[in-house]
Structure 1
Amino acid sequence: MRFIYLILVIFFLSLNLRPSITSVGPLLDVIQTDLGMNGVAASLITSLPVFCMGLFAIFSIRLNNRLGIEKSLLLAMVLIFIATLSRGFLMNSWLLIATSLFTGIGIGIAGPLISGFIKKYFPGKLSVTSVYSVSMVIGASIATSFTIPLFNLLNESWQIALSVWSILALIAALLVLPLLITEKAKNVMTTTSSLRITNKRVYLFMLFFGCMAAIFYSITAWLAPFVQSMGMSHTQSGLILTLFTIIQIPVSFSIPLLVAKTRSRKMWLLICSFSELIGLVLLMGHFSPWIATIFLGIGAGGLFPLALLIPIEEANSIEEVTSWSAQMQFGGFILGAIGPLLFGFTLDVFNSFTPALIVILMTIILMIVIILNMETKTKHDSMK
């Protein structure tokens, strides 16, 4: 029974890491028209949370040292709940941007802590990471798929449609609450995590995470416009994005299970990386975008849970897992947020998708080189 409860906690915590971001996209044109937002202001709604996911990942180390994992996660969920709920009462563009800022802070804090939570409660079960990764994909998918139906159901109120997703954070917060009582005595920290990286491999992991995130966000932002340039309709391009997301769900769930069974993380990292490489080459060659998207979805769906596994598998303690995760996500998400901007800049300069796709291609190749240079954990490897 306790096992099921803890899995539910991880599921709902992870479920909250994307809806406040992905729910905005389907209604962005409506929001822009209603609030009179220009393109720059509108882009902040989605770019700010991604930057915050990196910047405030480091803050999770401080919170973990001071409050412990359970209280810190509760604080993160409350922050996401309040910020998302407040969207139901907004009539100002800058207040909407402020909610994006605070949801990003909450997500940034929660992300690394969930890895520490898994290490604490499931120290010998790496496969539990699949719950973390697949829940994030499900959260992103349901928010993207159901925000428009909610908008239509709620008398075309985009404010209420966006605020509905706060329910997920409320459920997660309520699920965490019992742990504050049962784990109160255990939350006295005997060791602390440091912001200083003393294990040099963490820089390599951070660079890998950054390449992975840059590729993912670039594909997410620009896949639909690219296939439209190939002659596909808006409806078809929407289905391409849906396929890209749906493919990731079974892959995100199965990859950690396969790694736990085969004990070969590097092999699966390379398989997923080459899958993205194949998908991108197919796009550049103007082959079937449907087949290309399947390869891209397999790669994206596998790489993120594999990235989450790195600190859980390599670090030696709960505090170290949180610290490694925070520092990987700090640098990784900041680099990841730059990806779509660099793609867009290249597109503006050359007025062609080809040079921009070459940028992604080079990033994938760099990521493969990094993976090949990743060393396995040694007995005395540790980050204090």
Structure 2
Amino acid sequence: METGQRTMRAALNLLLVMLLALNLRPILTSIGPLLEPMRASTGLGYQQAALLTALPVLCMGLVPLLQPWLRRWISEHGGMLAGLSAIALACLWRLQLDSAWALIASAVVAGLGVAVVQGMMPGLVNRWFPGRLAGAMGLYSAALMSGGGLAAVLGPHISGYFGHWQVGLGLWAIPAVLAVLAWAVLRPRQEAPKLAGATGGHWFGTRRAWLLALYFGLINGGYTSMVAWLPAYHIEHGGSAQGGADLVGLMTIFQVAGALGLPLLLRRWADRRPGLWLALAIQLAGFLGLLLAPTLASGLWVAMIGFGLGACFSQSLTLTLEHLKTPAEAGSLAAFVQGIGFIITGIVPYITGWLRDVSGDFQASWTLLTVTVVAMLLVTACFNPRGYAAAIARPVAAGKAASVN
């Protein structure tokens, strides 16, 4: 392939990555800012509302774990089309919903669609951009978070204009349909390579795979909790629904800055730990601010949390992919990590919502997330790049008798 053709192919691949990523968060972030009119219209309780976030995220966990088996029946092309179509159909369904359980069912359909697409994305990015992995993962993460932020900020405006909260949820069928068309027309025609080796994409017996999954899941539990409860928290402190949506938008701006800025700043570093420590420390300061001075500078605390979350997401996925040399095996490890990780991530907002119910405010919820960030600061020390090969080869049983590299 000539240089000009390679450049054009790389540009089209990057455009596809960003279009696909834009569709992976609106189904989550459009809920929180519209929660109060949804509750008034459908009788949705806080625990049911938690399911609107928790169930899609659980789907994002379960489906990647099935990927080694699903790949026997469906191609990468077919999976992308099916996943994006499910997102579009779920959003269209939401245009006419009027019951709590129909909303929850639409969340499951959309979550399954997101799970299929999202499970394939790290391996796809690794295959398309092997020499620029950190930067490409940063752009993927930034586009993913931008889609979520747009849905949170624009949803209340759109719903207010049309007079129906359903429109603020259903409008996101449009970018999903555009992504279907773009994938069908612009995708590279080479199929993903088959996995080789004994693992065959199964990582259940590998200690380091479980540690990476736990790490990824707990880091992202802060994101799903903030998306689910930040607007309600803002309203509890005398704010408006639109103000809560604007806070989610502010968080997203700084997520994008973290996802893009930190990989760029540390692009020459092979060790991901300094970047992760910095991102987690900034995130910790933000949660401590919410705990100790919630009304003093809420925008600052939310911005710090957003920056830390965005940087952690892109850096933790890059960390996972760098554990293995071949794109196929690295992609299968990332699918496992996302699988287990998103199950954990889906449970966290349900727990934080339950803590809000039993305690009467969100302070207990923020305390839990603060403790989690401190724990992840300690776990980060385990990820020495010189020990990747030995760690990823170590089975679970051997971990009891050996130290972590």
Fold shared by both chains (TM-score > 0.5): yes
Partner in structure 1 of residue 196 of structure 2:
191
- Please say if 1:137 is aligned against 2:145: yes
Per mean C-alpha deviation after superposition, the further-off stretch among 163-172 and 239-248 is 239-248
Partner in structure 1 of residue 286 of structure 2:
279
Q: Deviations over 1:292-314 (max 9, x none)?
A: 22321221121111122123222
- Please say if 1:262 is aligned against 2:236: no
Note the C-alpha offset of 1:100: 0.9
CA contact (8 A) 1:53 1:104 kept: yes
CA contact (8 A) 2:251 2:302 kept: yes
Q: Deviations over 1:232-287 (max 9, x none)?
A: 66665554333222211222122233343333311100000111112222333215
CA contact (8 A) 2:33 2:241 kept: no
Q: Choose which of 292, 307, 310 in structure 1 pairs with 2:319.
A: 310
- Please say if 1:150 is aligned against 2:158: yes
Residue 125 of structure 1 aligns with an amino acid whose one-letter code is R
Partner in structure 1 of residue 332 of structure 2:
323
Does the residue aligned with 1:109 lie in a helix, a strand or coil?
helix
Note the C-alpha offset of 1:288: 2.9
Matches within 5 A, 1:146-225: 146-153=154-161, 155-178=162-185, 182-183=189-190, 186-187=191-192, 189=194, 191=196, 193-225=200-232
Note the C-alpha offset of 1:380: 6.0
Does the residue aligned with 2:18 lie in a helix, a strand or coil?
helix
Note the C-alpha offset of 1:374: 2.0
CA contact (8 A) 2:13 2:187 kept: no
Note the C-alpha offset of 1:96: 2.7
Q: Which runs of 4+ in 1 moved over 6 A?
A: none
Partner in structure 2 of residue 16 of structure 1:
23
Output the CA distance in 2 between the equivalents of 1:235 and 1:147. 9
Quickly say closer, same or farther: Cα 1:142–1:227, change in 2 above 3 A. Answer: closer
Residue correspondences, number: 381
Output the CA distance in 2 between the equivalents of 1:8 and 1:298. 24
Output the CA distance in 1 between the equivalents of 2:39 and 2:274. 45
Output the CA distance in 2 between the equivalents of 1:235 and 1:28. 11
Does the residue aligned with 2:95 lie in a helix, a strand or coil?
helix
Quickly say closer, same or farther: Cα 1:229–1:315, change in 2 above 3 A. Answer: same
- Please say if 1:73 is aligned against 2:80: yes
Quickly say closer, same or farther: Cα 1:381–1:320, change in 2 above 3 A. Answer: farther
Residue 14 of structure 2 aligns with an amino acid whose one-letter code is I
Partner in structure 1 of residue 120 of structure 2:
113
Partner in structure 1 of residue 66 of structure 2:
59
Quickly say closer, same or farther: Cα 1:180–1:125, change in 2 above 3 A. Answer: closer
Output the CA distance in 1 between the equivalents of 2:227 and 2:255. 12
Quickly say closer, same or farther: Cα 1:277–1:167, change in 2 above 3 A. Answer: same
Does the residue aligned with 2:268 lie in a helix, a strand or coil?
helix
Per mean C-alpha deviation after superposition, the further-off stretch among 220-229 and 13-22 is 220-229
- Please say if 1:82 is aligned against 2:86: no
Per mean C-alpha deviation after superposition, the further-off stretch among 126-135 and 91-100 is 91-100
CA contact (8 A) 1:81 1:170 kept: yes
Output the CA distance in 2 between the equivalents of 1:21 and 1:229. 21
Matches within 5 A, 1:225-374: 225-226=232-233, 237-286=244-293, 288-351=297-360, 353-374=362-383
Output the CA distance in 2 between the equivalents of 1:368 and 1:162. 36
Output the CA distance in 2 between the equivalents of 1:231 and 1:151. 21
Note the C-alpha offset of 1:189: 2.9
CA contact (8 A) 1:68 1:188 kept: no
CA contact (8 A) 1:316 1:382 kept: no
CA contact (8 A) 2:203 2:333 kept: no
CA contact (8 A) 1:59 1:109 kept: no
Does the residue aligned with 2:322 lie in a helix, a strand or coil?
helix
CA contact (8 A) 1:78 1:169 kept: yes
Residue 302 of structure 1 aligns with an amino acid whose one-letter code is A
- Structure 2: tracts of 5 or more residues without a match: 1-7, 396-405
Per mean C-alpha deviation after superposition, the further-off stretch among 135-144 and 242-251 is 242-251
Percent of pairs identical after alignment? 27
Note the C-alpha offset of 1:92: 4.2
Output the CA distance in 1 between the equivalents of 2:249 and 2:52. 21
CA contact (8 A) 1:347 1:356 kept: yes
TM-score normalized by the length of structure 2: 0.84
Quickly say closer, same or farther: Cα 1:15–1:240, change in 2 above 3 A. Answer: closer
Quickly say closer, same or farther: Cα 1:360–1:334, change in 2 above 3 A. Answer: same
Partner in structure 1 of residue 402 of structure 2:
none
Quickly say closer, same or farther: Cα 1:362–1:92, change in 2 above 3 A. Answer: closer
